[in-house]
Structure 1
Amino acid sequence: MKSVDQDSRGIIEPSEFRRRYQLNRHPAGDALEGLVSWFWVVTWALPPGATHTQELLTHPCANLYVTPQEPPEDPEGQKAPEDREDQEDPPTVAELEGVLLHRSSRRLAGEGICVAAMTTPGGLGAFLDSPASTYNDRTVPLTQALGTDDARLIEEIQAADDESAKVAVLRRTLEAQVRPHRTGPARTVAAAARLAETDRTIRRVEQLARQSGTSVRTLQRLFAEYAGVSPTWVLRRYRLLDAAESVRHGEPVRWARVATDLGYSDQAHLVRDFSAAIGSTPAAYASAQAT
């Protein structure tokens, strides 16, 4: 297992996250290698009636999960959730959350556990008969997208004794939903996206295509079908995630150097993209991590 202390990319204000939640990551397993990046489990126990909204800048991936349904926001003029003592536990749902193109948030309440799989960029396409972009910025029941028996899946996860057993239930379910004829192209996209994530010398789609041994047009077509977003978008998202991760300990950062390392033409472009994605300037975000 890998904890958020080792990799907090995608979690805005990770120190605040650690005060409220426990996050563990579990391996994909052989059958889902290249299709699922990892399984993740978040547990929380907030004070009775309290809610918390966690801001996120997600990886260029989809998430498939079983979790308590997000509590609704109170209509204006009604009591805030923390003032109510008669709240019922929200129902548990099984859902697919497609690639989120912008910053997002998740509102949680009470006690709960979320058991999830994060696909690789491209991995989602191996579970679908339609382009992955169909689900961009959308959340739908798993059964709608994959044809799963969601009631049975929820029941089996809730009955599992521990975290690893719950993950095993979701893993078996997803293994049964893989479309074998789509796994090859999906893994090709995932391998290219892995290069985009880890090789800082790759700054343009032409370089990524060359390193992947394919043409730009072919790479763009595969990404559109299996990842739901373009190779250029994936490159940019990973750069922003790296920039946010570089300040997660609140240490001084030379942003001009970071901009160069991440392939930006200048610091101003990094600051602009970072501020739009995270909601604050790099300097303000770094300062907040130190508090």
Structure 2
Amino acid sequence: MIEETRQVAQDSRGIIEPAAFLRRHRLNRYPAGPALDGLISWFWVVTWSLPPGVTHTQELLTHPCANLYVSPPEPTVDDAHPAPPVAELEGVVLNRSSRRMAGEGVCVAAMTTPGGLGAFLPGPAGEYNDRVVPLGTALNTDDARLVAGIQQEGDEPGKVAVLRSALENAVRPERAETARQVAAVARHAETDRDLRRVEQLARRAGVSARTLQRMFAEYAGVSPTWVLRRYRLLDAAEAVRHGERVRWALVATELGYSDQAHLVRDFSAAIGSTPAAYAGAQAG
């Protein structure tokens, strides 16, 4: 059983106000494993225990990925008792997302790679953008069995192993190779700061820009340009969190924005505050 964990302190990209999150939750990350390498970025488990009557709403700037998870549903105002966990797929979220939590709970999840979701689906990944659906509806998994299996496990690695096994069985072999190709290109977009345009990504992949755009539309659900810009926004938010000075004009130029104001507007729409206000909140 794979038991390696990756703490959020090493990488909080996507978690808005990570310090507040860590005061109320525990988050561990686990590797995908050989069979899902290139399709799943990592598994993650969040646990929380809040006092009666206390709720926490966590805002997220999601990676250009989908999440496949088993978790208690979000509580409503009238909830007197926690609802049983459900298995769901959340597609790529194009703007901010939020999650409301109360009481005690555990969420066991897998974050796909950009493109990895396409290996589990018969059609375009974009059909699930900004949507949450039962996992079995999209992946043909036995959700009741999956939820029960996770609940029976007493520790996090065991719970992750149950979800890992279900996803390994859900992979469509005829689509896995192309999904991994898209994920590899997206990895370049994430890590190589010299890549700024779709044409550069296409040359790296050895295909035409039009072909790459079609591959991303089918397997990632978003365009290569959108992936590039989302990763740079995540990087910028993480840099601000660590108190680093972000040269916004340079970032805007690298990403092809007409001016710095357009980048700041995108950051504000994604994060919910201007870069200066977000930096001040992190320092506080």
Q: What band does the TM-score fall into relative to the shorter chain? A: over 0.9
Contact 1:201/1:263 (8 A) holds in 2: no
Deviation per CA, 1:100-125: give whole Å up to 9, x if none. 11111000110111000000000000
State the partner residue of 1:201.
Answer: 194
| 228, 238, 250: which one aligns with 1:245 | 238
Following TM superposition, the consecutive aligned residue runs of length 4 or more in structure 1 with deviations greater than 3 angstroms are 250-266
Deviation per CA, 1:224-271: give whole Å up to 9, x if none. 110011111111111111110111134554434554566655432321
- Range that drifts further, 212-221 or 268-277: 268-277
State the partner residue of 2:52.
Answer: 48
The yes-or-no answer on 1:169 pairing with 2:169 is no
- Give, in whole Å, the separation in 1 of the partners of 2:42 and 2:246: 29
- Range that drifts further, 264-273 or 252-261: 252-261
- Give, in whole Å, the separation in 1 of the partners of 2:56 and 2:255: 32
Change (3 A) 1:7 1:194: same
- Give, in whole Å, the separation in 1 of the partners of 2:56 and 2:133: 23
2:68 maps to amino acid: L
The yes-or-no answer on 1:110 pairing with 2:114 is no
- Give, in whole Å, the separation in 2 of the partners of 1:124 and 1:117: 11
Deviation per CA, 1:53-79: give whole Å up to 9, x if none. 10001000000000011112x3xxxxx
Contact 1:122/1:226 (8 A) holds in 2: yes
1:121 maps to amino acid: P
TM-score by length of 2: 0.95
- Give, in whole Å, the separation in 1 of the partners of 2:154 and 2:50: 22
Helix, strand or coil: the match of 1:5? helix
Deviation per CA, 1:122-180: give whole Å up to 9, x if none. 00000011110111100000110111111111111011120001000000000000000
The yes-or-no answer on 1:230 pairing with 2:223 is yes
Contact 2:75/2:82 (8 A) holds in 1: no
State the partner residue of 1:134.
Answer: 127
Contact 2:196/2:254 (8 A) holds in 1: no
Contact 1:49/1:87 (8 A) holds in 2: no
State the partner residue of 1:97.
Answer: 90
| Matched residue count | 280
1:255 maps to amino acid: W
Contact 2:236/2:246 (8 A) holds in 1: no
Contact 2:48/2:104 (8 A) holds in 1: yes
CA RMSD, aligned part only? 1.5
* 1:44 Cα deviation after fit: 0.5
- Give, in whole Å, the separation in 2 of the partners of 1:133 and 1:155: 30
State the partner residue of 1:29.
Answer: 33
* 1:51 Cα deviation after fit: 1.0
Question: What 5-or-longer segments of structure 2 have no aligned partner?
Answer: none
Question: What 5-or-longer segments of structure 1 have no aligned partner?
Answer: 75-80
Helix, strand or coil: the match of 1:38? strand
Q: Percent identity?
A: 75
| 264, 269, 284: which one aligns with 1:271 | 264
Contact 1:200/1:263 (8 A) holds in 2: no
